[in-house]
Amino acid sequence: MLSKSQISFIKSLHLKKFRKEHKLFIVEGIKSVNEFIRSEYLVVELFCTENAMPNLVNLSRTIKINSISTVELQKISTLSTAQNVLALVQLPEDKDIETLQFTDTFTLALDGIQDPGNLGTIIRSADWFGIRQIICSEDCVDAYNPKVVQATMGSLSRIKIHPGNLPLLLKKRNVPVFGAMLNGTPVTETNFGNQGIIVLGNEGNGISEAVLKEIDYKVTIPGFGEAESLNVAVSASILCYEIKRNT
């Protein structure tokens, strides 16, 4: 049975402030939890219903397991309807983004992405297309926000997320920077080569002025209808596809 202090502690992790303080975040659902158990992330503790236990894989003795009722699980869940298992996972250590390697690979750089669903979908698309690292500007939504984690469907367990000062990073990079814009060269006519950083901007305002100064090549996804713009997560998927199709 969960104590009041346990419930209070886990619910505090719904907020970024306490995730950073305790260096823990929440993952929910059998599929996603199993992905994190199999990954390099450290799963610290599990809270699950009795019928969920047989579906969990590679359980280590270091993982503390709590068998609780569905009613108790609902009290700590971030979802309107709790799934059968909730995990507390250790946040990875922040890496100095100036030490990251950008040669011979492609990296997504996200400038001010605010919507958790969009960020989660971008992470999932990056995983599908084999892009392994994403840079998030300091004003992006937290990648470990429960809504982001849920939207990635486990893909977050395989993608390296690096928050930091995006304009400063781009000033020091040694690979071309491509910016997704409305007034660029069509993506189908762009030669991406075999390395680069792909920048996608805020859902409403696009790429910020400070980041725009560091863009080498503006690229666009041609439209044929009357919509004003394309959703940023959809744009990321199309760009990832075009990059992989030509490399």
CATH of the domain at 204: 3.40.1280.10
**pTM to 2 decimal places:** 0.94
Using one digit for the tens of pLDDT, what is the confidence trace for 97-110?
778 889 999 999 99
Q: What average pLDDT score do residues 127-143 get?
A: 97
Average model confidence (pLDDT) across the chain: 94
Same domain, 101 and 150: yes
Q: Is 85 in the same domain as 101?
A: no
- Let me know whether 61 and 102 are in one domain: no
The CA distances from residue 119 to 63, 111, 202, in Å, are: 28, 11, 11
Between these two residues, 54 and 119, which has the higher pLDDT value?
A: 119
Q: Are residues 77 and 152 in the same domain?
A: no
- The domain in which residue 204 lies consists of 97-245
If you ran DSSP here, which 8-state letter would residue 169 be given? Answer: H
Give me the amino acid identity at 127. Answer: D
For residues 155 and 217, membership in a common domain is answered with: yes
**Residues 84 and 139 both lie in one domain:** no
Express as a percent the part of the chain with pLDDT over 90.
Answer: 85
> How many residues appear in the chain?
247
Q: Give the model confidence (pLDDT) of 208-241 as tens digits.
A: 999 999 999 999 999 999 888 899 999 999 999 9
CA distances from 235 to 101, 121, 200, 219 (A): 24, 11, 8, 11
Segment 63-75, tens digit of pLDDT: 999 999 999 999 9
Using 50, 70 and 90 to split pLDDT, how confident is the model at 61? confident
Q: How far apart are CA 99 and CA 78, in angstroms?
A: 35
Do residues 179 and 210 share a domain?
A: yes
Residues 124 and 206 in one domain: yes
Confidence at residue 27, expressed as pLDDT on a 0 to 100 scale: 98
Task: Let me know whether 116 and 58 are in one domain.
Answer: no
Tell me, yes or no, whether 102 and 179 share the same domain: yes
State the DSSP code for 132: -
Least confident of 52-66, 99-113, 179-193: 52-66
Our count of domains for the chain comes to 2
85 and 121 in one domain?
no
